[in-house]
Amino acid sequence: MLTLQIYFSHKNMSDIEISRLAFENQSKARRVLQASGIEKIWSDAGCRVNLVGSLRMGLLMTHRDIDLHIYSHDITEQKSFAIAARMAADPRVTEIRCINGLHTDEHCVAWHATYRAEDNELWQFDIIHIEEGSQYDGYFEHMADRIAETMTAGQRDIILRLKYEAGDNCDFHGVEFYEAVIADGINTLDGLRHWVADHRKKQPYYWIP
C-alpha cells in the first residue's frame, strides 16, 4: 500500500513508470483472482467463466476491480444465489450485492463481491451471470479483444496515463477512456473531461472499435 501512496503523490511519472505500475497491479490482480478461488467456484458449478474488462485488455491501472462473465443454461435466481452462497461462505468475501436482470434483455444476474486479499487490500469482483446463448453471450469478450487488437502502443500509454491522472475516485467509465483515445484522439485529462460531458448527451450505446 505504501508503494501506491508514493506513486499517487508524484503526478509527473513517466509513461514507462506508469506502465510498470500498471503491469505490477495487473500481476497482483491475477494473483488475487487465483487466490480467491472465485473462478473455480463458478466453473465447479458447471459454468463457463471468462475474464473481461480492463484486466483482460491489459489496461487495469490502479483500480482494484476484476470483471468476470459467467455463462450457464436455464439460469434462475435460486441457481445463481446457490452458487453465490459458496462465495459468501469465504470469510475473505466481506460483502456481496446482487442486481437481478433475468427479466430484462440482458438475461443476467449481476454479483458485486468485495474481497479482502492477503495484504488486506480490498478488491471488487464484478461477476455477471449470463444466460448462455443470449444476446450478450461473448459480446464483451469480443469488445475487449477488439480494443486490445486495435489500440497502438502509444494509445495504450495514453489510456494508462489518463487513468492514473484521473484517479480511482473519478466517475469516468472504462470504455469512455478507450473510445475517447482510440476513436477520437483524446490525449489530455481536460480533453477527456470535455469529451465525456459531450458524449453523455448522446443516446447510450456499446462501442466496439
Dihedral pair phi/psi, residue 64, rounded to 5°? -85, 80
**Calpha distance 163→179 (Å, rounded):** 13
pLDDT of residue 11: 55
pLDDT of residue 35: 98
Q: How far is CA 52 from CA 6, 84, 138, 149, 176, in A?
A: 29, 19, 10, 14, 16
Maximum CA pair distance of the chain?
51
pLDDT of residue 170: 86
**How do the pLDDT tens digits run along the chain, 209 residues long?**
333 433 344 457 898 999 999 999 999 999 999 999 999 999 999 999 999 999 999 999 999 999 999 999 999 999 999 999 999 999 999 999 999 999 999 999 999 999 999 999 999 999 999 999 999 999 999 999 999 999 999 999 999 999 999 988 889 999 999 999 999 999 999 999 999 999 999 998 899 99
pLDDT of residue 3: 39
Its pTM stands at: 0.90
For 143-173, b where at least 16 C-beta lie within 10 A, e where not — what string? bbebbeeebeeebbbbbbbbbbebeeebebe
List the grid coordinates of 194: 470535455
Q: How far is CA 55 from CA 59, 132, 170, in A?
A: 6, 23, 19
Sign of CA dihedral 14, 188, 122, 71: negative
